[in-house]
Amino acid sequence: MTAEQLLLSKSAEAVSALYGAEIPASSLQLTVTRKEFEGDYTLVVFPLLKISRTSPDATGTAIGEWLVANCSEVGGFNVVKGFLNILLSPAFWTSKLSSICEKGDNVQLPSTGKTIMVEFSSPNTNKPLHLGHVRNNLLGASVSEILRAAGNKVIKTTLVNDRGVHICKSMYAWQKRFNGATPESTGKKGDHLVGDCYVEYAKMEKENPSVIDDVHKMLVDWEAGDPEVRALWQKMNNWVFEGFDQTYKALGISFDKTYYEHDTYLLGKELVRKGLEMGVFVQDPDGSVWCDLTSDGLDRKIVQRSDGTSVYITQDLGTAERRFAENNLDSHVYVVGNEQDYHFQVLKLILAKLGFEWASRIYHLSYGMVELPNGKMKSREGTVVDADDLIEEMYAQAKATSEASGKLADLPEEERDTLYRQIGLGALKYFILKVDPKKTMLFDPAESIDFNGNTGPFIQYTHARICSILRKASEKGLVPSVPEGVVPSSKEVRIIKLLSLLPSKIQEAADGLSPAVLANYAYELAKDFNQYYHDTPVLKESDRNLLSMRLALISAVSDVLKSAMRLLGIELPERM
């Protein structure tokens, strides 16, 4: 039971005992006491005046006195203008610290019994992953881990968009202008080579707009199973898949299931056929199939072209049906940029019209774009920040910053190299995940690697600092523990309060699909620890019981930081 749950329950008992009124604990208003007042939690008394029929101060005093007399966890109270400020006893906080220490660094909330699928990444096989994909992947992976920690069964999945007009554009350019180039002959990763083809096609179409007709013919031939087109498609896709795998590995990204559009678009076409029979869709004279959503305040949406080929939403319809049927999902989260808000609005509406009751349980985690100091990225113009280059740049910056400090000179080269990658990736992931997903963000690699301020390296350094203290304590034979009778200071109580918030922060992050909740919680905890350590002796404390408690406290900080950051996909080194 949390401190809030305990006080709400006991306060409801107090109202019953004092005034003979049975009220649900959930109806009471309890907040964290503001810093300018003495107390841990504050009960708002005003809603109870119609029950007590006395003044706010008298009601608050009566409840406070009852709590002190009947609840051993309450150590005192004060009433300020109708607000009951409750102080929990030192014994409560030492007990809370012991409980936190027992949990270690792996907090798991009770099972909800729900199964949630999270789709993220879902790249096109016509270009390498770039900075926008990085935000998508980091959000998807972190949200998956947070939902799992919140007690859900989570299936991480991706849908590879490996067919369609955009894929044929790269294939067409390779045929016409790349003279049989391969990753081996060019020394390029396969996804980079195919990306070059996509950029080249944009130039070709600018020079001669009619080439789009050849591309559309290629798509029709692909759907008809033309052996030559299919062979080229398979070859170029394999190049891209190998490149993607390397990037995913570097970012620490994995999936439980992978779907491919070439397997799922036919499912959508079958739904289009059924939708026509149901009267959900209509076929125009040219053969194209549409869903008229004008009565719903939207417009007409094409679901199949006049030449019989499918569009994006076609395969999304079929894939959604298969996923809910195969996995008995309670909900499905799509991690996709906010430029697709309309697409998912339409998708849910069409699925509902097709009679799928689970359409209302589809959620679009709509995130803002990542912008650079010099503007937006454009794949077809080749002005993107490549994910592989970004990862290497973060490594290089982490290495330069760390070597400038001179603190790692005695570490073996292999350990230093691992540490630089941990710091670089930690900086990248934290900088992106600390921003609310809905917001557009500006990414600045130099700012993200700073060892001060609200950054990943600052939290990593804080953890390494704690590990250093604990190593020194161990060398002296000192063991973290929480002896009975130890009275924590107000600064220590503040840290214990912060530590105890982790489960509620996990739940808040899961409910809001926002890793930023945990990122900023970890920063607040790291910041408070550093201030506490600056003001309070730990290893120099002469009282052995107090020393043991302080070691337990900072060890708990280390565990909670690891728990929170692990859910962001960030490793915390033990030395920096």
| Mean pLDDT computed over 135-148 | 98
HSE, side-chain direction, 13 A CA sphere, residue 397: 21
Q: What is the pLDDT of residue 378?
A: 47
| Mean pLDDT computed over 513-528 | 98
pTM, whole model, 2 decimals?
0.91
> Is a pLDDT exceeding 70 seen at residue 376?
no
Work out the burial of residue 75: count CB atoms within 10 Å of its CB; fewer than 13 is exposed, 13-18 middle, 19 or more buried. middle
As given in the structure block, the two tokens for residue 375 are: 């503007």
pLDDT digits (tens, 9 = 90+) for 283-330: 999 999 999 999 999 999 999 999 888 888 998 999 999 999 999 999
Compute the distance between CA of residue 498 and CA of residue 525 in angstroms, rounded to an integer. 7
Compute the distance between CA of residue 10 and CA of residue 25 in angstroms, rounded to an integer. 8
Share of the chain above pLDDT 90, in %: 85
- pLDDT-wise least confident of 132-136, 383-387, 494-498: 383-387
Instruction: Please name every residue paired with 158 in a beta bridge, in sequence order, or none if there are none.
Output: 258
Q: What value, to the nearest 5°, has the Cα angle with vertex 332 and ends 329 and 338?
A: 175
> Is a pLDDT exceeding 60 seen at residue 381?
no
Compute the distance between CA of residue 498 and CA of residue 511 in angstroms, rounded to an integer. 20
**Token pair 């009960």: residue:** 43
Segment holding 527, helix H or strand E = helix 516-535
Of 394, 430, 415, 445, nearest in space to 526 by CA: 430
Pairing of strands 74-80, 115-119: unpaired
> Is a pLDDT exceeding 50 seen at residue 480?
yes
Q: What is the pLDDT of residue 312?
A: 87
Tell which wins on pLDDT, 298 or 376: 298
Instruction: Please name every residue paired with 304 in a beta bridge, in sequence order, or none if there are none.
Output: 289, 310
3-class SS of residue 30 = strand
| Mean pLDDT computed over 5-11 | 96
Q: Which phi and psi angles does 259 have, rounded to 5°?
A: -110, 150
**Token pair 């398979």: residue:** 234
As given in the structure block, the two tokens for residue 115 are: 């199964």
Of 87, 2, 21, 6, nearest in space to 59 by CA: 21
pLDDT digits (tens, 9 = 90+) for 433-467: 999 999 999 888 888 888 889 999 999 999 999 99
> Is a pLDDT exceeding 50 seen at residue 379?
no
pLDDT digits (tens, 9 = 90+) for 67-97: 999 999 999 999 999 899 999 999 999 999 9
Cα maximum dimension of the chain: 90
Compute the distance between CA of residue 482 and CA of residue 517 in angstroms, rounded to an integer. 29
Q: What is the pLDDT of residue 1?
A: 74
HSE, side-chain direction, 13 A CA sphere, residue 132: 22
HSE, side-chain direction, 13 A CA sphere, residue 338: 10
Inter-residue contact 38 to 85 (CB < 8 Å): yes
pLDDT digits (tens, 9 = 90+) for 217-231: 999 999 899 999 999
Inter-residue contact 310 to 161 (CB < 8 Å): no
- pLDDT-wise least confident of 192-196, 266-270, 321-325: 266-270
Q: Please provide the DSSP assignment of 230-252 as one string.
A: HHHHHHHHHHHHHHHHHHHHHHT
Q: What is the pLDDT of residue 451?
A: 86
Work out the burial of residue 231: count CB atoms within 10 Å of its CB; fewer than 13 is exposed, 13-18 middle, 19 or more buried. exposed
Overall residue count recorded for the chain in this entry: 576
pLDDT digits (tens, 9 = 90+) for 551-572: 999 999 999 999 999 999 999 9
| Mean pLDDT computed over 125-130 | 92
Where does the pLDDT of residue 265 fall: very low under 50, low under 70, confident under 90, or very high at 90 and above? confident
Compute the distance between CA of residue 239 and CA of residue 167 in angstroms, rounded to an integer. 13
Q: What is the pLDDT of residue 377?
A: 41
Helices and strands (H, E) in the chain, number of each type: 21, 14
448's CB contacts (< 8 A; 6+ apart) are 394, 427, 428, 430, 431, 455, 456
- How does the average pLDDT of the chain come out, rounded? 94
Inter-residue contact 516 to 500 (CB < 8 Å): no
Where does the pLDDT of residue 383 fall: very low under 50, low under 70, confident under 90, or very high at 90 and above? low
Compute the distance between CA of residue 433 and CA of residue 453 in angstroms, rounded to an integer. 15
3-class SS of residue 40 = coil
3-class SS of residue 168 = helix
Q: What is the pLDDT of residue 374?
A: 61
Instruction: Please name every residue paired with 283 in a beta bridge, in sequence order, or none if there are none.
Output: 289
DSSP state of 255: -
DSSP state of 310: B
Amino acid at residue number 430: Y
**Token pair 């033309």: residue:** 226
As given in the structure block, the two tokens for residue 328 are: 């008995």
Inter-residue contact 523 to 482 (CB < 8 Å): no
Inter-residue contact 39 to 65 (CB < 8 Å): no
| Mean pLDDT computed over 154-172 | 95
